[in-house]
C-alpha cells in the first residue's frame, strides 16, 4: 500500500538579490580642500574643468563638498575634485547633505547610467563628470 502525503509538495523558486547601498556624505571644507565659496567668480578664477571619462570609482569618493544649480562637487581620496553635472530638472541642493546610490557590479559611478538618491527622496542621473583642476 502506497502512502500518499496529505498535502501535495509545492515547489517555489526563491531569488535572493543582494543590494548594497553606498552613502556619500557631505564633507565640510578643510584647509586641504579650501574651496568653500561657490560663487561663479571664485570657482571660475581658481579652477578649470578638464574632461575625464564617463565613470569614476565609487570607493574613491569621500563625499560631496559643494553644490550649485545642477552641479555637485565630489571630493576624492586622492584629493581631486570631480564636478558631477546632474540631468535637466535636477537641483543639486536636494543633495546638500549627501546622497545614496546602489553599488554597481563594476564598482563605478557612471554618467548616463547611475542614479543618485537624496534623503528627501529626489532621484537624479548624472549627465557628465569633469575634473576641476586648480589654475596656477
The percent of residues in the chain predicted with pLDDT above 70, rounded, is 79
Position 5 in a domain: no
- pLDDT > 90 in the chain, percent: 52
Asked whether the CA dihedral 55, 58, 61, 67 is positive or negative, the reply is positive
Tally of structural domains, the chain: 1
Confidence of residue 5 (pLDDT cuts 50, 70, 90): low
Say what the pTM is.
Answer: 0.72
Contacts of 85 (CB under 8 A, 6+ apart): 70, 71, 126, 127, 128, 129, 130
Q: Give domain status of residue 33, yes or no.
A: yes
- 68 in any annotated domain: yes
> With 80 as the cut, is the pLDDT of residue 88 above it?
yes
Q: Which of 85, 52, 50 is nearest to 67 (CA)?
A: 85
In a domain, residue 93? The reply is yes
Q: Per-residue pLDDT for 64 more than 70?
A: yes
pLDDT band at 24 (very low <50, low <70, confident <90, very high): confident
Amino acid at each position: 500500500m502506497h502512502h500518499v502525503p496529505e498535502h501535495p509538495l509545492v515547489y517555489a523558486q526563491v531569488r535572493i538579490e543582494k543590494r548594497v547601498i553606498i552613502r556619500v556624505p557631505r564633507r565640510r571644507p578643510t584647509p586641504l580642500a579650501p574651496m568653500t565659496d561657490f560663487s561663479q567668480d571664485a570657482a571660475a578664477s581658481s579652477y578649470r574643468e578638464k574632461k575625464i571619462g564617463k565613470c569614476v570609482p565609487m570607493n574613491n569618493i569621500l563625499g560631496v563638498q559643494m553644490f550649485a544649480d545642477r552641479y555637485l562637487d565630489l571630493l576624492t581620496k586622492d584629493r581631486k575634485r570631480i564636478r558631477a553635472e546632474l540631468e535637466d530638472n535636477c537641483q543639486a541642493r536636494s543633495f546638500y547633505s549627501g546622497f545614496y546610490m546602489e553599488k554597481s557590479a563594476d564598482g563605478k559611478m557612471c554618467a548616463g547610467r547611475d542614479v543618485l538618491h537624496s534623503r528627501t527622496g529626489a532621484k537624479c542621473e548624472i549627465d557628465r563628470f569633469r575634473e576641476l583642476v586648480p589654475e596656477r
